[in-house]
Structure 1
């Protein structure tokens, strides 16, 4: 396991304080003083999963980002055991810093059982990961200045997840693009293949990358514009099949709607065999204070 991956795994772990109450550390991933949404999402999933028998696997979660998190403070996760039925378990997680509620999540678990199967096919025009280069290599090639936090994260520091975006130009420069993109990803190192929860928690962490950005693509708008205010408002994941972060998977992203200073995006994760592994959904704030003003 690489040092960066080991550090991420340690961060996604949570420590028990008392029954059904856990604590997780914070980090300033983007250098903006705010906790990355994927971090609190992954830690919440880890906390709730520690209260469920291991034979019951997470199959869906629905969450809301209530307040920005403070990177200088730990997070307290309080888990409510809503129900343990014959095949399903339900949990509610409330995340706090001091006495401020910053995040809430509902999660559902199920024992493994056989059933009907079908899934949407992977789009036919998806090219394999060998056709693209990593974010780290892309940042080195960009001819114009980028935020210091971005260059530090990709050049000075090592990434726990290797991501190869298919359309970096759509992310970096505003244009009239289709509200569609995709990226390949895998762990930068090796995760225990038997620890299926760790793979699902790690995907929850990285699922927050690029999802909201997709809603900006048709609007001549760069996400790096200092006048842009962007924040995740809610986030949902449905886990359909086992996900292996030691192998390449592709995150296919599209945005069907933007309105009211909010963007809605959906993601589908496929493995290289074309199986649909997970589906995500997120709505977030996409407010340009220069073009439309601020309602604050």
Structure 2
């Protein structure tokens, strides 16, 4: 795992450029039946960001997952220049397979400016990542999952404060919050766009867990199956995705076989670096 998996992620984000506004990406050979949503969102942001002045950094993105992606096929990214103003640039990035869109994203980029600055304090009762079990520690109780886990390179170090969404219902209790420490498990280059793409990649991993956590539900047989429907992410302050951040998530509402999840990301010093909101399709099985 570690740096080798992170290097694979960096290559995943380093898209082939076919012309000024067209790019091509690939998926890791270890993916399951469909492309991970965080990957396609991160690649769409990478494509959009490469058409913008590097002095302008992404501050928000809004995307829709419209079809499942096939991990065995390349993904083409078509970028549209919506506007380049004095302070902001807006791009539309569409991911396509077989000529059909699988993901649509709008992203906005801004020059560095000074202004009002505040953020709500983070939770004060959360143990640090070094005090929490690693994923392999947690999987020790589920030996059937260890073999699968160790076969797939994972660029993220993830430490759950509570219980993961795959823990059996009898082993967990409902909790209104899902709190997870995360970091890219190796070193990233200094390019802020790479860190923004890496955070986008991470932001889709555990967010919908907060809907299940509210109800004490579990992913998989006897619980819930789901898929991301849309995803929004706001970047508030400079950060490094290869340093620990706390993903503090909760679910304001669930109805109509859909669940809404919101999460804020805070660095180890408590600075609010980003906010994510996502709605997912959640069906009982």
The TM-score range, normalised by the shorter chain, is over 0.9
Cα pair 2:60 2:235 within 8 Å, conserved: yes
1:45-91 deviation per Cα after TM superposition (whole angstroms, max 9, x unaligned): 00000000000000000000000011111011000000000000000
1:277 lines up with 2:277 in the alignment: no
Structure 1 vs Structure 2 CA RMSD: 1.7
Report the 3-state secondary structure (helix = DSSP H, G, I; strand = E; otherwise coil) of the residue aligned with 2:154: coil
For the 8 Å contact 1:28–1:34, the answer to whether it is kept is no
Which residue of the partner structure matches residue 165 of structure 1?
160
Task: Determine if the alignment matches structure 1 residue 224 to structure 2 residue 191.
Answer: no
Matches of 1:166 and 1:30, distance apart in 2: 26
* Aligned twin of 1:45: 45
Relative to 1, partners in 2 of residues 1:29 and 1:253: Cα closer, same or farther, differing over 3 Å?
farther
Corresponding position of 1:293: none
2:32 is the counterpart of 1:2: no
Unaligned runs of 5+ in 1: 290-296
Deviations 1:28-52 (A, max 9, x none): 6552x10000000000000000000
Equivalent residue number for residue 92 of structure 2: 92
**CA deviation after TM superposition for structure 1 residue 225, in Å:** 2.2
Q: How does 1:231-242 map to 2 (within 5 A)?
A: 231-242=227-238
Separation in 2 of the partners of 1:71 and 1:263? 26
Question: What's the TM-score, normalizing by structure 2?
Answer: 0.94
Mapped to 1, the partners of 2:164 and 2:260 lie a distance apart of 21
Deviating 4+ runs (over 6 angstroms): none
Contact kept in structure 1, 2:214 and 2:251, CA below 8 Å: no
**Structure 2 partner of 1:178:** 175
Does structure 1 retain, via aligned residues, the 8 Å contact 2:165–2:219? no
Match of 1:253 in 2: 249
> What is the CA distance between 1:137 and its match in structure 2?
2.7
For 2:194, the equivalent position in structure 1 comes to 198
1:134-164 CA distances to partner (integer Å, 9 max, x unpaired)?
213322x124644xxx742x32344211111
CA distance change for structure 1 residues 92 and 239 in 2, over 3 Å: closer, same or farther? same
Match for residue 17 of structure 2? 16
* TM-score normalised by the chain length of structure 1: 0.90
Alignment check: 8 A CA contact 1:170 1:177 kept: no
Structure 1 segment 57-68 matched on structure 2, within 5 A: 57-68=57-68
Aligned runs of 1:15-164 on 2, under 5 Å? 15-27=16-28, 30-31=31-32, 33-139=33-139, 141-143=140-142, 145-146=144-145, 151-152=147-148, 154-164=149-159
